[in-house]
């Protein structure tokens, strides 16, 4: 298993009327072949911008790459032209979005939307492409695929539309699937179906998945590794087990504590995080979580902590975990 | 238990959708809400939970049924009488962006119920009350002159709560009050709602689709599916010993934020989607997706009955499920 995608020191900003909004501020991570990496964080933390910049889908301007490289199969995506990207998008990297209604064309039959992609990337004839489209609908378990291919998106339920989106994304058997909040708009019973489908497809084709979500339950279910993002920066990264069982960053801990668990006592109050995330128009110089952190120290205000590795796969960016920090947190293995 | 604050009896709300078709959003539900409790109403989109919440406080005129408050059936009250009694009922909405008028300063938004019910004598009294309410929900005096766009989602929801509290209501319908918020902010709002309930003796109808949050906040929980109430029990019992096959499936579909537990649990994955509520057949509404469905389920609507103390369920096969003779 080698690295499929490697993001190095990526920074993406938006030039607005009021000034520069620094949405993503120097992040590095990688995705191996066949694994699922979850990108977790609250609204505005930069997780969707990260995903869209891998696909080069951000409108430029106002968006621009401030620094960094995105290596996909060894080639830097940041340097690629729009024409080159069109060959990669939908073929090697695909994306599914939160709202399947707005990402399908409402005036076009579902089958035709899939056929369009097949003809573009595979150069099959119309009849062959149509056959393939029906196969794809069958793969994602849309019942009566021949009949459904001739219907419009509004005739599909939310869950079925998301299945169509997955079919569309999988036509070319991409190496990497970016799923941006794929089940947020769905009900829990349908969410369970879609997550199961994604797992089946991954088993069958060995696709790598970047799963963007704020639902920690979904993360626990799906991912191999977890990256926690806040204020445009990465706070912590580790295997799913490490992040859930041994979170090292105060933000990760707080995030895990703020979700009610089915086994918790109802008289306990939930651990909320006071305040709101920082404004990335004027991002803080130091740790972005400084203002909301109970354990903040003076150094946190002006200096962004470096990565501190706890194991080969697990690091966090927090001064508390620095070897020089006095009274390191309880249970730490340093 | 004490006398119920609100008794809902056989409540129905149908919508005419044209061409002689009827959408049965709420189709005969009955339950009691006791003073000081939080009654959770859960279900998937389109199950009728929001319509039920709105019909109970008569924002929609019901098709049939009654809601007893203070010994009176509120559906028989005249417009004037309804206005008098309405100050006891308030609502908190899902979308904190859409439920506040963007052209009004916060002070006027919060004071609007006071204006409508003429609940103050002087402008000073009005202003004092607004400031008191702002402090109650964790905002402060300076916020009174600002406009909604200057606030974050969590703060806006606080403004919505302050507005709902303005007239000292007894009963608040919270319609998905936290679904539009981030996880860390959700906990803030839920803790606030709990504190207010304790301090002011409020009664909530808490409508949501997030089942773990509902378990946490509610004393009793009702599960709806396609306009019918499927199961009702205390929240501990409903989550530990669900009887209705739908409740079982719903609970097993919630992903648990713990990788070991989540990956090793036995899950029931339902096939298909929720069917259409337009002109449904007279059978168990869940029959097409149920693991245990029989011919009887296809022919008869199961009665909503008390199968154990304080545990109601609408399922023909509930006894067998309890005994464990089917699996």
CA–CA gap between residue A228 and residue A239 (Å, rounded)? 11
Interface of B with A in 161-200 (CB under 8 A): 182-188, 190-191, 194
- Say whether pLDDT at A229 is over 90: yes
Report chain A residues whose CB lies below 8 A from the CB of B187.
Answer: 258-259, 270-273
CA–CA gap between residue B179 and residue A301 (Å, rounded)? 32
CA–CA gap between residue A301 and residue B250 (Å, rounded)? 45
DSSP B241: S
Q: What is residue B68's predicted lDDT score, i.e. its pLDDT?
A: 93
pLDDT in tens, chain B (327 residues): 578 999 999 999 999 988 888 999 999 999 999 999 999 999 888 888 999 999 999 999 999 999 999 888 999 999 998 988 888 999 999 888 888 999 999 999 999 999 998 888 899 999 999 999 999 998 888 899 999 988 888 889 999 999 999 999 999 999 988 888 888 788 889 999 999 999 999 999 999 888 888 988 999 999 999 999 999 999 989 988 999 999 999 888 888 888 888 888 888 888 777 788 888 888 899 988 888 988 889 888 999 999 998 999 999 998 888 888 776
Report chain B residues whose CB lies below 8 A from the CB of A273.
Answer: 184-185, 187-188
- For A144, the token pair is 């009566």
Q: Look at strands A176-180 and B171-175 and give their pairing.
A: unpaired
* Three-class SS state of B205: strand
Whether residue B126 contacts residue B180, with contact meaning beta carbons closer than 8 Å, is answered with no
What pTM was estimated for this model as a whole? Answer: 0.83
Contact B273 A218 (CB under 8 A): no
Residue in B with minimal Cα distance to A184: B179
Helix (H) or strand (E) holding B89: strand B89-92
Q: What is residue A332's predicted lDDT score, i.e. its pLDDT?
A: 42
Q: What is residue B168's predicted lDDT score, i.e. its pLDDT?
A: 92
- Say whether pLDDT at A330 is over 50: no
CA–CA gap between residue A42 and residue B169 (Å, rounded)? 33
Q: Which sign, positive or negative, has the C-alpha torsion B270, B275, B280, B281?
A: negative
Nearest to B187 among A221, A241, A272 (CB): A272
Q: What is residue A333's predicted lDDT score, i.e. its pLDDT?
A: 41
Whether residue B69 contacts residue B169, with contact meaning beta carbons closer than 8 Å, is answered with no
- For B10, the token pair is 């056989």
Q: What is residue A90's predicted lDDT score, i.e. its pLDDT?
A: 83
For residue B267, CA distances in Å to A36, A39, A181, A195 come to: 21, 25, 22, 13
Residue in A with minimal Cα distance to B235: A266
Instruction: For residue B233, list its beta bridge partners.
Output: B221
Q: What is residue B170's predicted lDDT score, i.e. its pLDDT?
A: 92
Give chain B's radius of gyration (CA, Å).
21
Report chain B residues whose CB lies below 8 A from the CB of A270.
Answer: 187, 190-191, 216
Q: What is residue A334's predicted lDDT score, i.e. its pLDDT?
A: 37
State the DSSP string of A124-180. Answer: --HHHHHHHHHHHHHHTT-SSHHHHTTS-GGGS-HHHHHHHHHHHHHTT--SEEEEE
Q: Which sign, positive or negative, has the C-alpha torsion B74, B78, B80, B81?
A: negative
- For A70, the token pair is 């995105």
Q: What is residue B52's predicted lDDT score, i.e. its pLDDT?
A: 93
State the DSSP string of B140-184. Answer: -GGGGGS-GGGS-HHHHHHHHHHHHHTT--SEEEEESTTTTS-HH
Report chain B residues whose CB lies below 8 A from the CB of A215.
Answer: 255
Contact A272 B267 (CB under 8 A): no
CA–CA gap between residue B129 and residue B122 (Å, rounded)? 11
* Three-class SS state of B221: strand
Contact B253 A261 (CB under 8 A): no
Which positions ≥6 away from A88 have C-beta within 8 Å? A72, A77, A80
Residue in A with minimal Cα distance to B209: A187
Q: Which of B21, B52, B8, B7 is nearest to B226 (CA)?
A: B52
Residue in B with minimal Cα distance to A43: B182
Contact B250 A255 (CB under 8 A): no
Whether residue A288 contacts residue A233, with contact meaning beta carbons closer than 8 Å, is answered with yes
Q: Look at strands A93-96 and A176-180 and give their pairing.
A: parallel
Q: What is residue B147's predicted lDDT score, i.e. its pLDDT?
A: 93
Nearest to A159 among B154, B250, B273 (CB): B273
Whether residue B13 contacts residue B22, with contact meaning beta carbons closer than 8 Å, is answered with no
Q: HSE (CB half, 13 Å, CA atoms) of A243? A: 32
CA–CA gap between residue A74 and residue A5 (Å, rounded)? 8
Q: What is residue A326's predicted lDDT score, i.e. its pLDDT?
A: 60
- Say whether pLDDT at A282 is over 90: no
Q: Does B270 touch chain A (CB under 8 A)?
A: yes
Nearest to A217 among B44, B217, B256 (CB): B256
Contact A244 B185 (CB under 8 A): no
Contact B254 A188 (CB under 8 A): yes
Instruction: For residue A180, list its beta bridge partners.
Output: A212
Contact A192 B270 (CB under 8 A): yes
Confidence of residue A212 (pLDDT cuts 50, 70, 90): very high
Helix (H) or strand (E) holding A209: strand A208-213
Q: Which of A110, A266, A187, A164 is nearest to B176 (CA)?
A: A187
- Say whether pLDDT at A262 is over 80: no
Residue in A with minimal Cα distance to B250: A189
Q: Which of A262, A291, A293 to substitute to test the interface with B, most B CBs within 10 Å?
A: A262
Nearest CA-CA distance, residue A176 and chain B, Å: 23
CA–CA gap between residue B314 and residue B307 (Å, rounded)? 9
Phi, psi (degrees; rounded to nearest 5) at B146: -85, 170
Phi, psi (degrees; rounded to nearest 5) at A237: -145, 140
Report chain B residues whose CB lies below 8 A from the CB of A190.
Answer: 44, 273
Q: Looking at per-residue confidence, does A263 or A242 come out higher?
A: A242
Mean pLDDT of A230-258: 90
Mean pLDDT in chain A? Answer: 86
CB contacts < 8 A (A, B): 127
Q: Look at strands A225-230 and A233-239 and give their pairing.
A: antiparallel
Q: What is residue B193's predicted lDDT score, i.e. its pLDDT?
A: 93
Cα angle at A210 between A209 and A213, to 5 degrees?
A: 125
- Say whether pLDDT at A60 is over 90: no
Which tens digits make up the pLDDT trace of A145-190?
A: 888 888 998 888 888 888 888 888 888 889 999 999 888 877 888 8
Interface of B with A in 90-109 (CB under 8 A): none
């Amino acid at each position: 298993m080698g690295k499929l995608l490697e993001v190095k020191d990526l920074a993406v900003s938006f030039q607005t009327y009021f000034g520069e909004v620094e949405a993503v501020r120097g992040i590095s991570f990688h995705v191996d072949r066949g694994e699922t990496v979850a990108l977790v964080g609250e609204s505005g933390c930069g997780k969707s911008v990260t995903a869209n910049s891998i696909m080069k889908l951000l409108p430029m301007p106002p968006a621009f790459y401030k620094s960094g490289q995105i290596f996909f199969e060894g080639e830097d995506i940041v340097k690629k032209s729009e024409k080159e990207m069109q060959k990669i998008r939908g073929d090697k990297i695909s994306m599914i979005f939160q709202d399947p209604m707005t990402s399908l064309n409402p005036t076009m039959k579902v089958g035709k939307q899939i056929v369009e992609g097949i003809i573009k990337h595979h150069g099959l004839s119309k009849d062959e492409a149509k056959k393939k489209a029906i196969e794809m609908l069958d793969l994602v378990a849309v019942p009566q695929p021949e009949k459904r291919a001739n219907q419009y998106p509004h005739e599909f339920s939310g869950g079925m539309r998301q299945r169509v989106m997955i079919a569309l994304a999988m036509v070319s058997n991409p190496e990497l699937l970016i799923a941006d909040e794929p089940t947020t708009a769905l009900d829990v019973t349908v969410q369970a179906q879609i997550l199961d489908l994604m797992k089946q497809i991954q088993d069958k084709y060995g696709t790598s998945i970047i799963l963007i979500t704020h639902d920690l339950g979904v993360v626990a279910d799906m991912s191999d590794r977890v990256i926690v993002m806040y204020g445009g920066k990465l706070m912590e990264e580790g295997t799913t087990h490490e992040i859930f069982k041994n979170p090292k960053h105060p933000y990760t801990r707080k995030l895990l504590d703020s979700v009610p668990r089915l086994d918790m006592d109802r008289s306990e109050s939930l651990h909320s995080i006071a305040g709101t995330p920082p404004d990335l128009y004027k991002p803080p110089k130091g740790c972005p979580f400084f203002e909301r952190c109970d354990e903040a120290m003076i150094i946190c205000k002006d200096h962004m902590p470096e990565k501190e590795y706890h194991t080969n796969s697990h690091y966090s960016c927090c001064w508390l975990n620095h070897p020089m920090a006095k009274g390191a947190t309880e249970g730490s293995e340093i | 238990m004490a006398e119920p604050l609100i008794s809902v009896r056989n409540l129905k709300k149908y919508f005419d959708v044209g061409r002689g078709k009827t959408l049965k959003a709420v189709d005969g539900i009955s339950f009691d809400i006791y003073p000081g409790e939080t009654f959770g109403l859960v279900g998937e989109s389109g199950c009728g939970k929001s319509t039920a919440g709105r019909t109970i406080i008569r924002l929609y005129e019901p098709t049939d049924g009654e809601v007893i408050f203070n010994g009176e059936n509120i559906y028989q009250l005249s417009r004037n009488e309804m206005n008098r009694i309405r100050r006891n009922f308030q609502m908190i909405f899902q979308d904190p962006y859409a439920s506040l008028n963007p052209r009004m300063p916060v002070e006027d938004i919060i004071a609007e119920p006071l204006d409508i019910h003429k609940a103050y004598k002087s402008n000073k009294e009005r202003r004092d009350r607004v400031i008191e309410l702002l402090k109650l929900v964790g905002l402060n005096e300076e916020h009174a002159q600002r406009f909604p766009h200057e606030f974050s989602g969590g703060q806006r929801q606080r403004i919505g709560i302050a507005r709902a509290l303005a007239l000292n209501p007894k009963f608040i319908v919270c319609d998905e009050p936290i679904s539009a918020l981030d996880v860390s902010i959700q906990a803030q709002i839920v803790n606030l709602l709990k504190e207010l309930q304790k301090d002011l003796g409020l009664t909530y109808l808490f409508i949501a689709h997030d089942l773990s949050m509902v378990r946490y906040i509610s004393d009793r929980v009702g599960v709806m599916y396609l306009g019918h109430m499927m199961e009702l029990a205390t929240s501990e019992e409903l989550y530990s010993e669900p009887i209705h096959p739908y409740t079982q499936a719903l609970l097993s579909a919630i992903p648990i934020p713990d990788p070991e537990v989540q990956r090793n649990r036995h899950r029931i994955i339902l096939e298909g989607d929720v069917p259409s509520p337009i002109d449904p057949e007279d059978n168990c509404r869940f029959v097409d997706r149920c693991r245990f469905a029989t011919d009887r389920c296809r022919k008869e609507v199961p009665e909503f009955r008390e199968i154990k103390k304080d545990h109601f369920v609408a399922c023909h096969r509930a006894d067998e499920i309890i005994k464990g003779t089917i699996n």
